[in-house]
Amino acid sequence: MTDRASFNPFPTVRGLLIRAGFSFLGLALFLACPCELVAEGRITIERPGREPSAEERAAARKAYSVELATVKVSPTAENVGFKANPVVNAAAAVAAYREGDAPPYFFRIFLPQKVKRGKKYPLILLFHGRGESQNDNECQLAHIQTSIDVLAGPDRPDFYLAAIQCPVETLSWGLPDPRAPHGETPLEMLDKIVNALVSDFQADPDRISLWGISSGVMAGYDLVKRFPERFSAFAACSGSVPAVLPCIYRDVSLWLFNNRDDKLGFEANLAFVNAVNEAGGDAYITLHEEGGHNTWTGAQRDDRVIEWLLRQKRGRRASSRDLSERGDFDLRTWLIFAVPVAAFIVSAKFLFKRRGKKDRPAEI
């Protein structure tokens, strides 16, 4: 017969606490510790970006907006190519997509500051305008200098922003690109790049949004038409209206920017927004009286636009007029705190139950 008075539960409790502490520490380090961004699979980072200084960011914000320059001739192979701000170019990494022995396909990408293991990050795809078509892998960044704090500031949110470039030979998103591995169009190459960023890096497939400028808006509409359930949001600056049924765009949150004196006509864009909403979609338009064919300067200077793009998620809409903080459920935080506690409770219950059976008086 066992003497129950000799049973001391404190060593068992102390052991459980130590075990739970190590479990908590190990899980927290695994989930919360930043991991190095490794260039894997089909995409490699050829040159990483750098964080500009506060003085460089201030100069980039105040720099003369090249998009306001008057171009009196239509873009051709001889005169296209607005130059991007040097600070923006430095902050964006140079990436390459490879398929077998084919020549690499270069594009630009802004990377998250820190990539944490097991976490997914939003992805924004930038569609430049006709005037930025070139083969230098720089001009496609010409009109995003006013968002430099969001893209390369010390407190910027963590997300990917990828920007490919239409070739100067075609000036088109839909014609075969001579630089592509197998003659794909820029839109087809963008599809391959998105798949690689989702599979090889940590881009969130539920938070892929689009940002289009001028003719790039039509490219964005075309991509949404091809994959209507793939994207979460689309910010369209000074674009035309797609010649398809508005119901195709009801699953993508839309935010249009137009000026009343734009030659493209704001009436068509306003009617398109109303038609999308009538079809059950989520569309909104920001109209200004003046500005001609340029809404992207103001949209780029409004950091809320990128914040809105990052908040959107397939199957969940965040209004463009309500950008307050949202208490989204964080699975990683729940795992860090809940799993060790649950393991401690289960272990304690099992051990005390086992100890109780062991110390039970033997039957006579």
Q: Which domain holds residue 250?
A: 36-320
CATH number at residue 57: 3.40.50.1820
Q: Are 142 and 155 in contact (CB under 8 A)?
A: no
| Structure confidence by residue, pLDDT tens digits, 8-30 | 444 555 565 666 565 555 555 44
Task: Give the number of other CB atoms < 10 A from CB of residue 50.
Answer: 13
pLDDT attached to residue 296 = 84
| Structure confidence by residue, pLDDT tens digits, 36-93 | 443 345 999 999 999 899 898 888 777 655 444 434 334 444 555 577 778 888 999 9
Q: Order of strands, edge to edge, in the sheet holding 121-127? A: 43-47, 93-97, 105-110, 160-163, 121-127, 203-213, 233-237, 253-259, 283-288
pLDDT attached to residue 291 = 82
337 found inside a domain: no
Q: Can you tell me the distance from the alpha carbon of 125 to that of 153, in angstroms, rounded to the nearest whole number?
A: 19
353 found inside a domain: no
* CA-CA-CA-CA dihedral for 226, 229, 234, 236, to nearest 10: 30
20 found inside a domain: no
How large is the greatest C-alpha to C-alpha distance in the chain, in angstroms?
Answer: 107
335 found inside a domain: no
Question: CA angle 14-16-19, nearest 5°?
Answer: 110
What are the tokens at 254? 């839309």
Phi/psi for 61 (5° steps) reads -65, -35
Phi-psi label, residue 219: left if phi above 0, alpha if psi -120 to 50, beta otherwise: alpha
Going by the DSSP 8-state scheme, the letter that residue 363 receives in this structure is P
Radius of gyration of the CA atoms of the chain, in A: 27
180 found inside a domain: yes
pLDDT attached to residue 348 = 57
Q: Can you tell me the distance from the alpha carbon of 10 to that of 16, in angstroms, rounded to the nearest whole number?
A: 10
Residues of the chain with pLDDT under 50: 1-10, 29-40, 66-77, 323-335, 364
pLDDT attached to residue 38 = 39
3-state secondary structure of 300: helix
253 found inside a domain: yes
310 found inside a domain: yes
pLDDT attached to residue 30 = 44
6 found inside a domain: no
Q: Can you tell me the distance from the alpha carbon of 174 to that of 284, in angstroms, rounded to the nearest whole number?
A: 27
Total domains present in the chain: 1
Torsion sign across C-alpha atoms 229, 231, 232, 234: negative
Q: Are 154 and 51 in contact (CB under 8 A)?
A: yes
Q: Can you tell me the distance from the alpha carbon of 78 to that of 280, in angstroms, rounded to the nearest whole number?
A: 45
